[in-house]
Copies of this chain bind each other. A is one copy, B any other.
Amino acid sequence: MNNFVFYSPTEFVFGRNTEQQVGALARKHGAHKVMIVYGGGSVVRSGLLDRVKQALQTAGITYCELGGIQPNPVDTKVYEGISLCRAEQADMMLAVGGGSVIDTAKAIAAGVPYNGDFWDFYIGKAQVTQALKVGVVLTIPAAGSEGSGNTVITKLDGLQKLSLRVPEHLRPVFSIMNPELTFTLPSYQTACGVADMMAHIMERYFTNTQEVEVADRMCEGVLKAIITEAPKAINHPTDYGARANLMWAGMVAHNGTCGVGCEEDWASHFLEHEISALYNVTHGAGLAVIFPAWMTWMAEHHVDKIAQYAIRVWDVPVSDDKKAVAMEGIRRLRDFFHSLGLPLTFSELGVEQPDIDRLTESLHRNKGERVGNYVKLTRQDSREIFQLAL
């Protein structure tokens, strides 16, 4: 087990009607004026935005608004938000939505007190040393951004999709998680969220770090729970228990609870970021295509942990033929993704003729000569994995 720091100081307030506490929580964490960040019309139509405003007013908190955040959130909205926040002198970001909204709020939170271009943080030109506080009302369980210090933004000019990780400053101070807010999620979006949270766990699980039994068992346990609960949520969108389990699973998948002490991989995420940046596909759908391809390549090149995953998560019988065990686990994962309505190939993702050379070049330009840790991928390796997703 590697040395690590686990520090997850977010206050998670979970359950029915908890959005009513947003004013009191913002106040408790020191806000006077919040900037509400949100996406499209669903939080308006559902009345959630009005309930949030009402709760803020009751607590004596004023607010301004930045709506219109899209999936695969872009830098232009961040610039807009930074300007608005400075003009309005808001002192806390309040994200009402899913990962794209939260990630945008975090980027604005880091950008407001910084004199330069916020993009400097994403390209490693500058470090975040202070940020406005971020609060969250979560509506989509997927990205885990409600519990993490991570944010992913796409620069429209050049379609560069980059992630930034600053747990010290960008973890939300509170996250309100009411599973009822996810009852109206379309099943495809629910499924994409499931793929995303499973991927967050698997990026940590596939590690060469030895003697990590607690981390392994926690990862396997949460994966098993997701596999049980996801079909229930898809088939019965108002099944509170299923929605609640998925919502909490999405958080623990990404706040560091899973995978403590492990060297993490993240190659599948980086491979996928290239796909969604270039073709604007949903991140979770892209992961459903690329993660099994990555695992298939690993079954050939470094089978050990893939086989353990097949046995412990998918109940594949133990056998001396580790590759066969691994491939059966991958088959079960793919069947599971398909049963949720997720794509398994570029073609099913709507990308008939992916430009694999361009994807590969962009990946290694953004992430260096070697990508990932479980096996450090060369350009040739990455190309082969993209091809396995055809």
Least Cβ–Cβ distance between A32 and chain B, in angstroms: 22
Would A240 and B214 be within 8 Å (CB), given that A220-B221, A221-B220 are in contact? no
Which one, B179, B213, B225, B228, contacts A245 given CB within 8 A? B213
Flag A1-20 by CB within 8 Å of B: 1 or 0 each.
11111111111111110100
Docked pose: A245 CA to B215 CA in angstroms: 8
Copies of this chain, whole number: 2
A164 at the interface (CB under 8 A from B): no
Q: Which residues of B contact A14 (CB under 8 A)?
A: 3-6, 260-261
| CB <8 Å contact, B248 and A261 | yes
Chain A residues near B (Cβ < 8 Å):
1-16, 18, 179, 210-214, 216-218, 220-222, 224-225, 228-229, 240-242, 244-245, 248-249, 252, 257, 260-261
- 14 further A-B contacts with Cβ under 8 Å, apart from A5-B14, A212-B241, A214-B248, are A1-B240, A2-B15, A3-B15, A5-B11, A5-B12, A7-B11, A9-B9, A211-B244, A213-B225, A214-B225, A217-B221, A218-B221, A220-B221, A244-B261
**18 A-B residue contacts at CB 8 Å?**
A1-B240, A4-B14, A5-B12, A6-B11, A7-B11, A9-B11, A210-B241, A211-B242, A212-B245, A213-B225, A213-B241, A214-B225, A218-B218, A218-B221, A218-B222, A218-B225, A218-B252, A220-B221
